Every structure is written in C-alpha cells, then in structure tokens.
Amino acid sequence: MSHADPLRNLGVHLTSRGGELRVWSADATSIELCIFDEKDTDWVAKRVPLTKGDGEVWSATTRSLQVGTSYALSVDGPDGPTHDFDPGRFLLDPYARGLARTREGGWRSYVQDTAFDWGGVGKPGTPLDHTVVYEAHAKGLTKLNPELPEELRGTYAGLAHPSTIGYLKELGVTAVELLPVHQFVSEQRLTKMGLVNYWGYNTLNFFTPHAAYASRDAQFGGTGAVLREFKGMVRLLHEAGLEVILDVVYNHTAEEGRGGPTSSFRGIDNASYYRQDADGNYIDTTGCGNTLDYGREVTQRLVLDSLRYWAEEVQVDGFRFDLAATLGRGAGAEFDRDHPLLHAIVSDPALAGVKMIAEPWDVGLGGWQVGNFPDGWSEWNDGYRDRMRNFWLRDIAQARGSGSASEGIGSLARRLAGSNHVFALERGPLASVNFVTAHDGFTAADLVAYDRKHNLGNGENNRDGSNDNKSFNHGAEGPTSDETILATRRKAVRNLLGTLLLSAGIPMLTAGDEFGRSQRGNNNAYCHDSELTWLSWDRSEWQEDLFEVVKTLIRLRRENPALRPVRFGRWGETTPSASQMDWYNKDGETMGIEDWDSPEERTLQYLAASTPEFEAFNRILLVVHGLETDVTVTLPAHEGVERYTLLWDSGHDDISEVEGVHRPGEELAMAPTSMRLFRAD
C-alpha cells in the first residue's frame, strides 16, 4: 500500500521505534494517548500527545506501546450541537485489536498479541452452490451439551470440540454462521430491566472477539489468549471442512442515542462518524439510536479494514451484514446500489473468495432493497421466507376456515426455482439466501404451533416482536397432547425444511430447527440468555426422527446437482451449471394458467435436469401438493426418463416401507400437504 494513503495503518502498529498509534478525527483540536499502569488500568502512567498530519490523521510513536499495554484516547475539540468532546473521558481506539474491562466496569484498549500457528490449515473454500449455512449462537449452540467438559460449554473452544464438530458433520451443513461475536455490550435499557442483549447486535468494537464466549482459562489467560482460542476454533472447524461466517453489525454502535454511553466514536468525532442534522439530532435508519455515516471515506475504510482483519488475520470465510442497506446510504442518506462501499466489499483483492451476504434492508426511508445489491453479493430473501410460510401454513389455515386457499402454487414455484423475478439474470440463483426461519422470529417448531407471539418475558407487555408471523397452530395454541395435531405439525415442519433444502439458492438452516427446538412462542428472544434460547441436547424420539429427515435432505441436495443450479437458464439456450426446468400439473401435462394460479389446483411436478459443467448429469422430479386433500398424480412422460426412484417423502419420517420405483404415466396417491422427491433416470 502506498504511503501516500493517509488512512493507512490506523490503530496501533509495532515498529522498530516502538508502537505507532494512528487515529482519524477531522474536528478534534487535541488528542492524547493515555497509557495505563500495567497493574492498575485506572491509573494513567504516561500521556503522549498526538500530532495531526495528512488526511485528518493524528499519530504518535512511543516505546511504551508494546504487546499487552493498556491504553485509551483523550480527545478535545469545539463545542456545538453536533460535537461531543470531553478530554476527561477515556475513549477506546476504534481499531483496537484487544479490549479489557477495568475493576470499575469500564473498558480499555490494549495492544494485542496476534501470534498463532495455523499449522498449514487453509480455508475450505466451499463453492456457493454446495454451501448449506447453519445459523447458530456461539454460546447457545453448546451451553447444554453434556458431551462437553463443563468449562468448555458455551465457548469458542466448545464450538470446536470434537462433539460439536461431529454433530455438524453428521448433519451435513458446510458453514456455521455465528450471531455477532465482535465485542458487544447490553443496552442501558436492558441492564436496568435485569435483562441482557443475548444476540449481540450492539457492537463496542469491530476488531475484537467477544471475550465472554471464551473459556475462563482464556479470559484470564493474559494478552492474546481469547484471540488464540477464537483462531483455534476457526482452525479446527477448517480442518473438518467447515467454514465460519460472522454476522457483523457495522450499521450502528453500542453508543446508542445522544444520551447513550460514549465509549469511542462519539467522543472522537461525533459530527463525522454519525448521521445527524444541523441541530445534532441523530438520523437513525437502524432503529438502534445511531447510524454510522457511510457517505464518508473514513467509515467506509473502517469496514474494509475490519473485514480484512477477520478474513486474513483470523481466517474467517464470510460475513453476513446486519441491516446492510445502511452501508449503501451515501451523503444524502439515500440507498445507492452503486455505493462505493458495497462495490469495494466484493471487489477488494484482499477479500477475494470471501462470502458476502447482505440483510438487504434497514428501517430508514427506502430501506427495503432485496434484489438490489451489486453482483458478488448474496442476499437474505425475505420474500422466499414469507411465501413458503404462506403456502404451507397460512393458506392451509385459510382453506380450513373458508374452504379455499388465498392463491395457487405459482409463486411457490418461482421461489423454488431461485427467485429469478427478484434477482437479475447475471446474478443467478446463488444471489438468494433462502430461509424459512432465522434467529429473529419463531423457530420452525413454533411456526406450526402458535398463531400468536408470546413475548411477555421480554418485559414490554408483548408489544415487541413481529405480529405478522405467517404461522399456523393447526388447531391448538402451543403444547398439546392431541396426536393428530402433533402429527400434522411435524409434517408441516418437514414440508417447510424440505422446501428450503430442495430449492435453488443458498439454504440457511437455523440451529435447532433440525430437531424441532421451541422458544415457547417467543418470537423475539434477543434478551434471554437461558435455556429458552440454548439448544437442548436431551431430545425425544420424534426430534431424532426430524434430525434424520434434515440430514437426509442435506445429503440429497449434495448428491443431486439439479437441485442447486449456479446460473439461471435462458429460454432456448444451453447454459452451463443451470438447471433445465419443466413444470407439469397433477395429470402429468404441461402447466397451464389455471394450474399456476388456481387456489384449488395447488399441485405441481417440477422436473429439473442439470447442465453439466463440473459434475455428472443429474435429473430429479419434485412433486408438491399444497392442500389438505388426497390427490392422485400421473407421473410425467419426458424424453430420456424411464423411471422415477423415490428419494424422500414428507408424508413419512421413514420411507423404507414406501414403494420406491415408478414409471412415467403411472398414477401415484399423494398424501395431504406433502412433497415427494424422485431421481429421474
């Protein structure tokens, strides 16, 4: 990198002349480096003034900055409605690689020890079309696992334990997407209520792993111990062929609104880092009190430097960007798909091959931008989520109540085939991250057991959380002993997860859905660090059966490339790694308008053939029936297809007793609301 770049090497870098600290502030009038006594992080042992240089960057070099040194910034500047300078505050370096608590509960930056032996282990580099994402909480995944030593439960080391890795490998997922693991704190409001921010969307610093998820030995193991445990986790997951994706929160910080705790950016240069009007009121497009201003080069650089650090130094494989529309808002706070930061993230040579996933919305004006991110991005597809829930749940509830579902099967088919009405042809189906649940909302088991949210435990009189869940309790609210209702609910979960894992795009499975985890109807459990949110490893027989179903579905996805096309096909052309798709109605005839649109005709047969590029030719038939009535389908006649071999049936936990081989033209009885997958040879 050219030394003409004024934003180079922000933070602390060790040189032969000592540690150099570089801090950006356009409006400060003075900045001091405060170095603390090594035994007392409340006692300033030395103060070193920083000098302002090119590009609004302040710097100082001192031999007192070395590995393990605790330090803070003292920043002074002008008064005014958009400023918040106070030289009496100790502020965190935005680029600090290490953070530690003081005895009084404050925070200090420290110079990190980054040494680590990767042992020659590299990144798995799983292609996007082979990727199956498992969204999990770093603590909640292992906190209750009895196969782990107690001191490792709920830790990074526990996540990398052979028991955890063995479970993930048996399930068949390829990537673990961790809810935020940048150092975070709980909001003041939650602390006063005696609650915590469990999910972690309240970042204190973008370069430091959350220390509370490390084992006690690492937390008290001195400089570098927490980071080493985190890197050790990444290395062991990589050895097992599993990728690590981090959920990152660059849209806002833990400094909250103007009355919030000032820990870093606000005290360094409030007017530059945060969006605000001339009177100092924050322009909040995140709903979290503040919004970082990505109309500025320095904040764009902050994100890129953080991503490079985690991707290179910590060897992380990908990132999921919370409220990513905020990162695409320019000087006027309007979203721009050509925003330089959105393009830089997917074109930076240092980030080549790193998976980039957007949550493509925020709460600001024009904040819903699904399908509108640049090439190179994948996006959470909330339209997919909503359509699948409607088709298998709300439409079924409506049909029970009124005798007719709200719509036909056409919109499900579009989603099943990769949502090409949402994502541009050149981006292809892998631009879509498909999901039916996420950390935020009902679990899959709760979607089929509750019509309403049950969030009283969150302390907001059930006002928080979405009221539009597109769920269906199938005849009883919550737990029931009615075996008919229970069986129907379990089939509904199999339909939801089956659709997810057999659709074109990148599937994301929420941890626990593979065995029917419940949060007792709470659809916003962000403030519960308890058995409500931790995964239980004590499972019933039906839960073990569901696990086997999900494991089978992931295996079938892996074995059948026709289910995971890389590109959209073009009519009349042969496109490598696209799937040739043919659609038939229940009679085995090509779908007509009535078949697509009629609420009475919610049955289709989807024949998909791969166009080989790297894998052998493959063809599948997926039969979907979306009504609570029996139906007879006639298997379609298609050139080159001589038989259909049953691979999976959502109407059964176990298909070993179900007749397996059928011929084109043969009639087949489909169970109510069910799916069947065949290999077509």
| Catalytic residue list | 322, 359
Report the distance separating Cα 403 and Cα 627, nearest Å. 10
Q: Which two tokens stand for residue 354?
A: 């790193």
Collapsed DSSP state (helix, strand, coil) of residue 512: coil
**Token pair for residue 301?**
């650089």
DSSP characters for 190-252? HHHTT---SS--SBS-SSSB-GGGS-HHHHTS-TTHHHHHHHHHHHHHHHTT-EEEEEE--S-
Beta-carbon contacts of residue 125 (< 8 Å; ≥ 6 apart)? 353
Contact call for residues 21 and 60 (beta carbons, < 8 A)? yes
Helix (H/G/I), strand (E/B), else coil: 422:
coil
Hey, which residues does 91 pair with through a beta bridge?
Answer: 73
Contact 106, 129 (CB under 8 A): no
Task: Give kind and range of the element (H or E) at residue 189.
Answer: helix 188-192
SS3 129: helix
Is residue 246 within 8 Å of 252, Cβ to Cβ? no
What are the residues whose beta carbons fall under 8 Å from the beta carbon of 617, sequence distance 6 or more?
A: 609, 610
- In angstroms, the CA 663 to CA 642 distance is 6
3-class state of residue 173 by DSSP: coil
Q: Take residue 52 and report the two structure tokens written for it.
A: 């302002």
Could you give the count of Cα atoms lying within 13 Å of 172 in the half-sphere of its Cβ?
17
As a whole number of angstroms, the distance between CA 106 and CA 40 comes to 13
Distance CA 578, CA 129 (A): 11
> Within its chain, how far is the Cα of 366 from the centroid?
22
Provide the residue type at 102 as one letter: T
- Three-state DSSP at 311 gives helix
**Which parts of 582-681 fold into alpha helices (H)?**
593-597
Task: List the one residue out of 604, 642, 572 whose CA is nearest residue 499.
Answer: 604
Beta-bridge partners for 674: 625
Token couple for 420: 């090409």
Distance in angstroms (rounded) separating the CA atoms of residues 78 and 85: 7
For residue 159, give Cα distances in angstroms to 139, 222, 318, 385: 8, 21, 17, 28
Phi and psi at residue 450, to the nearest 5°: -135, 135
Residue type, 37: D
- Interatomic CA distance for residues 183 and 204, integer angstroms: 6
- How, if at all, do strands 378-380 and 432-434 pair? parallel
**Of 407, 414, 466, the residue nearest 441 (C-alpha):** 466
Handedness of CA 236, 237, 243, 244 (dihedral sign): negative
Are 664 and 637 within 8 A, CB to CB? yes
Q: Rounded to whole angstroms, how far apart are CA atoms 52 and 60?
A: 9
For residue 108, list its beta bridge partners.
100
